Amino acid sequence: MAGFGAAFLCLALSLALPGAARADWKGTIYIWGDSNVNTYDGTRSLQHQLQRRLPKANIKVCARGLWTLSGPPPHFKAVFPVDWIAGDLFVVQLGLNDFATHQPLEPFRAAYRDVLRDHKQRYTVICMTPIAQRNENATNRLGLRLEDYRRAIRAECNAAGASVIEGTDAFPSHPRYFKDHVHPNEAGTRRMAVWLKKELVRLGWASE
């Protein structure tokens, strides 16, 4: 229910924000993910930083700490029903918590496949792999590295014909961009917003 409640809050936010005029942008973007895209509020948030760089866009970040795609309670399974979204782009940024909570790859791949099946029919889905971590060589209890989950994301998204953007390109795995061993600080968040805009330009959804 926690994931459902957070998704409902995202829906309320989307209804409260008016649609923006569209010149070089083709609609609304939802970024659906974990706390790495929701580390700060207000002007320090990824939503605000990306909105500044795409002023005619309608940017919505719907994210929560501990969200997973395949993990059971006490962690929150991310829920985002298809008919709750009225937009053009749906960026999925999940996987880090599935790694951290030791979820097997096959259930994770199946859950990602379900997201693509359910959402790709309605709008464009962009798959964002997890951002770089301070310790990229760490393994979970299954002996899996975060890169194994990134490979699973790439495989499912490529098979579904969805675009993949590499979160590891957002900013380097360097202490100056992290507030702890996992989450980006303000500098990392700004770098992520700049990178996201460049990726949207590259994919033809925005212009410089």
> Block means of pLDDT (10 residues each) for the chain, length 208 residues?
47 40 60 84 86 88 83 62 66 92 94 87 89 90 97 97 95 88 89 94 83
Distance CA(97)–CA(114), nearest Å, equals 18
Q: Which residues pair with 89 in a beta bridge?
A: 29, 124
Distance CA(95)–CA(6), nearest Å, equals 18
Do β-strands 124-128 and 163-165 pair in parallel, antiparallel, or remain unpaired?
parallel
pLDDT at 190: 93
Q: What is the architecture of the domain spanning 2-202? A: 3-Layer(aba) Sandwich (3.40)
Overall pTM surpassing 0.75 (yes/no): yes
The token pair that represents 73 in the structure block = 């309670």
Give the H or E element holding residue 198.
Answer: helix 186-202
pLDDT at 8: 41
pLDDT at 35: 86
For the chain, what are the domain ranges?
2-202
The token pair that represents 178 in the structure block = 């992290």
Q: Which residue has the tokens 């410089």?
A: 208
The token pair that represents 150 in the structure block = 């990134």
pLDDT at 126: 94
pLDDT at 22: 34
* 75-to-2, 40, 152 alpha-carbon distances in Å: 9, 21, 21
- Closest Cα partner for 169 from 190, 146, 202, 199? 199
